[in-house]
Amino acid sequence: MKKTIALLTGGTTGERVVSVKSAATIAQNLDADKFDVYKIMLTQQGWFYEPADSIRVEVDRNDFSILLKGRKIMFDGVFIAIHGSPGEDGKLQGYFDMLNLPYTTCDALTSAITMNKGYTKAIVQDIDQLHVAKSAQIFKNGNYKIDQIKKDLKLPYFIKPNNGGSSIGMSKVTHPYDLQKALDKAFKEDSQILIEEFISGREFTVGVVKLDGIVTVLPISEVETAKDFFDFEAKYTPGVAIETTPAVLDDEVKKRVDKIVTEVYNRLNCRGVVRIDFILQGGIGDFYFIEINTIPGQTATSFIPQQVAAMGMKLNDFYTKLVKETIG
Buried-exposed string 189-210: b where 16+ CB fall within 10 A, e elsewhere: bbebbbbbebbeeebbbbbbbb
Residues 145 and 193 in one domain: yes
Is residue 116 in a domain?
no
Is residue 53 in a domain?
yes
Give the tens place of pLDDT for each residue, 103-151. 999 999 999 999 988 899 999 999 999 999 998 989 988 788 888 888 8
Residue with the bigger pLDDT between 168 and 167: it is 168
- Give, to the nearest 10 degrees, the angle between helix 251-267 and helix 117-124: 110
Say if residues 220 and 204 touch (Cβ distance below 8 Å): yes
The reply to whether omega before 156 is within 30° of 0 (cis) is yes
- Alpha carbon of residue 172 to chain centroid: 21
What pLDDT score does 231 carry?
A: 46
Is residue 172's pLDDT more than 70? yes
Residue with the bigger pLDDT between 275 and 136: it is 275
What pLDDT score does 228 carry?
A: 56
Residues 83 and 159 in one domain: no
DSSP β-bridge partners for residue 4: 36
Domain total for the chain?
2
For the residues 280-298, what does the mean pLDDT come to? 93
Give the tens place of pLDDT for each residue, 8-48. 999 988 889 999 999 999 999 999 999 999 999 999 999 99
For the residues 52-69, what does the mean pLDDT come to? 92
* Mean of the per-residue pLDDT values of the chain: 91
**HSE-up (13 A, CA, CB side) for residue 321:** 16
Q: Can you give the residue range of the structural domain that contains 14?
A: 3-105
For residues 33 and 155, what is the distance between their CA atoms, to the nearest angstrom?
Answer: 55
Q: Which of 91-95, 222-226, 228-232 tops mean pLDDT?
A: 91-95
Is residue 72's pLDDT more than 50? yes
Is residue 194's pLDDT more than 90? no
Is residue 296's pLDDT more than 90? yes
- CATH number of domain containing 56: 3.40.50.20
Residues 94 and 30 in one domain: yes
Ordered alpha helix ranges (H), the chain: 16-29, 91-98, 108-114, 117-124, 146-152, 179-187, 232-236, 251-267, 303-310, 315-326
Residues 90 and 148 in one domain: no
Is residue 237 in a domain?
no
Range name among 41-50, 171-180, 255-264 with the lowest pLDDT average: 171-180
Total Cβ atoms within 10 A of residue 97: 15
pLDDT band at 237 (very low <50, low <70, confident <90, very high): low
Among candidate residues 146, 165, 197, the one where a domain is terminated: 197
pLDDT band at 164 (very low <50, low <70, confident <90, very high): low
Say if residues 136 and 300 touch (Cβ distance below 8 Å): no
Is residue 162 in a domain?
yes
Q: Which helix (H) or strand (E) element contains residue 138?
A: strand 135-139
Residues 141 and 57 in one domain: no
- Kindly give, in sequence order, each residue whose CB lies less than 8 Å from that of residue 200, ignoring residues fewer than 6 positions away: 279, 281
Is residue 230's pLDDT more than 80? no
Residues 66 and 8 in one domain: yes
Range name among 44-53, 165-174, 250-259 with the lowest pLDDT average: 165-174
What pLDDT score does 55 carry?
A: 85
DSSP 8-state class, residue 219: P
What pLDDT score does 160 carry?
A: 85
Among candidate residues 86, 105, 124, the one where a domain is terminated: 105
Among candidate residues 65, 84, 105, the one where a domain is terminated: 105
For residues 5 and 7, what is the distance between their CA atoms, to the nearest angstrom?
Answer: 6
Is residue 148 in a domain?
yes
- CATH number of domain containing 178: 3.30.1490.20
